[in-house]
Structure 1
Amino acid sequence: MKKLLQIIMAIMFSFLFQQNLNAQKVETTRERINYTIENCVNEFDLTKAKKTNSGYQYWFADKKFTEENTLKMSIVEPGKSTHAPHRHPEEEFFYILEGKASFYLNGKTVEVGPNTSLYCPPNSEHGISNAGDKDLKYLVIKKDLR
C-alpha cells in the first residue's frame, strides 16, 4: 500500500510540474507581447500571405501571437490539397468561405460548399481538398498545445 501511495504521489507531482511548465510558457507569451488595438486587428493582406504548393495561407493569429488558439485562412487551387490526411492531438475546425471542399474524416468523404463548418475531433484522421473548378477558401481554427 505504501508503494502504491508513493507511485500515485510521483504521478501527481509529475502532472503538477508539467502544468506549471505549461502555465509558465503561457505567461512568457503574455509578457512578450503588448496586445494593443493595432495588433489585435488583422485585416487580410495578400502581400503577407505565405505561398504553398497548393495556393497560399494567411495567418490571422498564429501561435507566436495568441495564448491558445490559432486562426488561418487557406486558399487551395482546383484539384489540390494542402497535405495528405493526417492526425494530431488537437481538435480542429474548418469553415468553408468559398468553393467546393472534399472533406475526409476517419475513412469517409463528403463534399460541401460555402458557409459549412467541419469539425475534426482530436486524433482523428482528416483532410480537406478542393473538389471544384475554382479556388477553395476556408478558415482553420485550432488550439495550440504548446
Structure 2
Amino acid sequence: MKKKACCFIGLFLFGLITFAQEKNESLGVSNKTFNIENCVNQFNQEAAINTKVGYQYWFADKDFLDGRTLKMSVVAPRKATHEPHKHIEDEFFFVLEGTAEFYLDGKTVVSGPYTSFYCPSNVEHGIRNVGDTELKYLVIKKYEIN
C-alpha cells in the first residue's frame, strides 16, 4: 500500500510540473526555470507552520506554479483544523496516517490510510481526526492567481 501511495504522489507531482511547463511554453511564459534544486522538496520540520491543532507543510505553495498546491496537514488526536466549510476551489485529500472522518454535504465516512476524498467546489466539507494518533494527510488544491 505504501508503494501505491508513493507512486500516486510521485505521478501527481510529475504531472503537476509537466503540465505547468507545457502551459507556460504554450503561452510563451517562461518566467520560472525548473531544476532539480527547486523541483525536489523534502519535508523539513523547521519549515513547517504550526497550527492550533498540529502543523502543515507546503510541498508546493500558490507561487510555485499557477496556483496548484500540495500541502501536508498533521492534526492531533480528536481534533480538526477547522469546522466544515465551503469555498470556490475544489480539493482532494489523501490520508497518509491515522483515522479521518470525512464530512461532505451532511454525511460522514470514517477511513484510514491510503484513502482519498474529493471535495467539489462550493460543497460543504471537512476532515477531522477521530483516532488516538496523529492524522497526516495531503491536500491538493488550485487557488486562483490574480
TM bracket, shorter-chain basis: 0.7 to 0.9
Contact 1:103–1:111 (CA under 8 A) maintained in structure 2: yes
Task: Give the structure 2 partner of residue 135 of structure 1.
Answer: 134
**Counterpart in 2 of 1:76?**
75
Paired position in structure 1 for 2:124: 125
Secondary structure at the counterpart of residue 39 of structure 1: helix
Q: How much does 1:37 deviate?
A: 1.3
Q: Which amino acid aligns with 2:60?
A: A
| Residue aligning to 2:45 | 46
Structure 1: which 4+ aligned runs deviate by more than 3 Å?
none
The 5-angstrom pairing of residues 54-133 of structure 1 reads 54-133=53-132
Measured after TM superposition, the shift of residue 143 of structure 1 is 1.1
TM-score relative to the length of structure 1: 0.77
**Contact map agreement 1:30 1:67 (CA 8 A) in 2:** no
- Report how far residue 30 of structure 1 moved: 5.1
Give the length in aligned residue pairs. Answer: 119
Shift in CA distance, 130/113, structure 1 to aligned 2, threshold 3 Å: same
CA distance in 2, matches of 1:30, 1:81: 39
Percentage identity across aligned positions? 59
- Write the distance in 2 (CA, Å) between the matches of 1:115 and 1:133: 18
Does the 8 A contact of 2:61 with 2:67 survive in 1?
A: no
Deviation at 1:59, TM superposition (A): 0.2
Query: Does the CA contact (< 8 Å) of 2:96 and 2:138 recur in 1?
Result: yes
2:111 counterpart letter in structure 1: V
